[in-house]
Structure 1
Amino acid sequence: MKNLVRLALMLVMFSYQNLTAQEKTTLIVEFENIENVSGTLYIGVFEKENFLKKPIFSKSIDVKNSSHKIEFKDLDHGVYAVSVFQDLNGNGTMDAQSNGMPTEPWAMSGTPNPMAAPIWEEVSFQFDDKNKAVKLKI
């Protein structure tokens, strides 16, 4: 009986440690020197499984200044990528040429090749700080 009680206590302690270890924090996405102060910024935070298909978090803001700061709260530690485009004509989508090249301003975390489709390994980052900030230039 004592062993059963000890086992139950150990399981409770292990579960508590796992719950407290999965700390949620805030990701800050900063934009500075926005060239065209108009339109809407659409920002998405992606995981690898749904990269550029379905963000796990997303926000949109009207561009009213040349700099903006957006916070994504309660984000688990992990590996993510941030993608943003500036919708200048108000149609809610990122316009592109017939060859797929964007015609509206865009940016991503990391170091994407501006002349090719984004690759996860080039744009993803490890999020493990209390307040991680990603600076993007549109």
Structure 2
Amino acid sequence: MKTLVLVILLAITNFIAHSQEPKGVDITVQVNNLKNNNGFVLLGLHNQETFMNTETPALKRIQGKIIDGKIEVTFKNVSEGDYAIMVIHDENTNNRMDFTLNGMPKEAYGMSNNNMSFGPPMFEDAKFKVEKENLSLDIRL
């Protein structure tokens, strides 16, 4: 009987220990060059299917509070794979990017890898690989 109780206790302990293991990595993002503290910063974690796709939302979204022209936020438990992060300084707090009449962005934006070429952003330029280690990214707007 003692053996059975011991086996059950070991099984429960093993189950609890494994259920508390993290399922992914954390990605900490810093933006340090905001021109003012107006509004907030919207960050979206995307894969190739959701990147620049108005029909499909970001895999994860975070709204960051600006303090002294900076923010730091963390995407938690991100699975392995290729991702890109898009950042918008939403100064007027309408939860979207605003554009001029000729289609140019009114609000500052950026993306992972800080590759800001002319034309629409491309996933290949912004992608980074998530493996087993936590990541820290600095994104410029």
Superposed displacement of residue 119, structure 1: 0.9
DSSP-derived class of the 1:49 partner: coil
1:48-90 deviations in Å (ceiling 9; x for gaps): 0111232101011232322221011110111000001011122
Determine the structure 2 residue equivalent to 1:60.
63
Determine the structure 1 residue equivalent to 2:15.
none
Determine the structure 2 residue equivalent to 1:49.
49
Structure 2 CA distance for aligned equivalents of residues 105 and 49 of structure 1: 24
Q: CA RMSD in A?
A: 1.8
Output the TM-score relative to the length of structure 2.
0.75
Superposed displacement of residue 111, structure 1: 4.1
Structure 2 gaps of 5+ residues are: 1-21
Q: 1:75 to 1:96 in 2, by over 3 A?
A: same
Structure 2 CA distance for aligned equivalents of residues 129 and 106 of structure 1: 28
Superposed displacement of residue 129, structure 1: 4.4
Work out the number of aligned pairs and report it: 117
Task: Please identify which structure carries the higher strand content.
Answer: 1
Output the TM-score relative to the length of structure 1.
0.76
Determine the structure 2 residue equivalent to 1:89.
92
Which consecutive segments of 4 or more residues in structure 1 shift more than 6 A?
none
Structure 1 gaps of 5+ residues are: 1-21
DSSP-derived class of the 1:122 partner: helix
Q: 1:100 to 1:114 in 2, by over 3 A?
A: farther
Aligned-residue sequence identity (percent) comes to: 25
1:109 aligns with 2:94: no
